[in-house]
Structure 1
């Protein structure tokens, strides 16, 4: 798992990364993941054609929530949080192209859903990626703004 681009284990049920390869999706399935959520656009530079078929052929559920990296919206956050919460105790792999979108959304998930203390949130990718103004606004979004979206 460590070889997967920007891999981060959030907890026993959730792991995140950049775009996995076809072989890495097989490894993800072999590690008992039940669901894959993809936040990248279908035409991302490292996207895999027919990813949904590859994932479902490995007997994992597949959700695609395409988030425009240049224009993330509160409604994207709301859909992501609702999807992740609805999955309950399923083992979930969340990815995008580089794990930047996912890291921002997981920060929000930690803050509002898991209510993790700030110092305990793994935001190591923020050392590598400096979020622009639009992403900073998304990261700082209030719970009320998410609910209104």
Structure 2
């Protein structure tokens, strides 16, 4: 019997193309494939206690692409998010299943991605994030820094465009 997606810890369907969750069990990956997901993105470092050994082989056996971006719980980085955004942006026209241990890393990254790349309002992105958790100080600082960096980059682009017109 194939497990249901709703049985996966903290499963959250953000759109027709993106679902997020905590760590699936090996028995839950057939349901992910059956639901049409073509890529599984895992944000759990391999050495984490709750990481699934051989997840890449389990996903490959289901005929899906596997991408791992190891995000340390206690120290997420802008580079982690940049890699994540590149992966999601490159697969924005296909179904992607994104997970971590409890859907906390993922929900924070999806909050940022949706705000910065998908044009989702802050209110909607925050509402979805808060369905999973309220970020702790480490993660809230990370979110704030990524948004501030993006605003700074956007401001520099506006200045450069203005200078080109002079």
TM-score by length of 1: 0.90
Given the superposition, is the C-alpha separation of residues 100 and 145 from structure 1 closer, same or farther in structure 2, using an over 3 Å criterion?
farther
7, 11, 33: which is aligned to 2:11?
Answer: 7
Structure whose CA Rg is larger? 2
Report the counterpart of residue 125 of structure 1 in structure 2. 132
Report the counterpart of residue 58 of structure 1 in structure 2. 62
Given the superposition, is the C-alpha separation of residues 146 and 131 from structure 1 closer, same or farther in structure 2, using an over 3 Å criterion?
farther
- Larger deviation: 46-55 or 135-144? 135-144
- Which structure's relative contact order is higher, taking Cα pairs within 8 Å and 6+ residues apart? 1
Task: Note the residue ranges of structure 1 that are not aligned, 5 or more in a row.
Answer: none
What is the correspondence of 1:37-56 to structure 2 with a 5 Å cutoff?
Answer: 37-56=41-60
Task: Note the residue ranges of structure 2 that are not aligned, 5 or more in a row.
Answer: 155-166
Would you say how many aligned residue pairs link Structure 1 and Structure 2?
Answer: 144
How far 1:133 sits from its partner (Å)?
2.5
Report the counterpart of residue 138 of structure 1 in structure 2. 142
Report the counterpart of residue 25 of structure 1 in structure 2. 29
Show CA shifts across 1:45-97 (max 9, x none): 32211000000110000000000001110110111001100113111000000
TM-score by length of 2: 0.81
How far 1:20 sits from its partner (Å)?
0.2
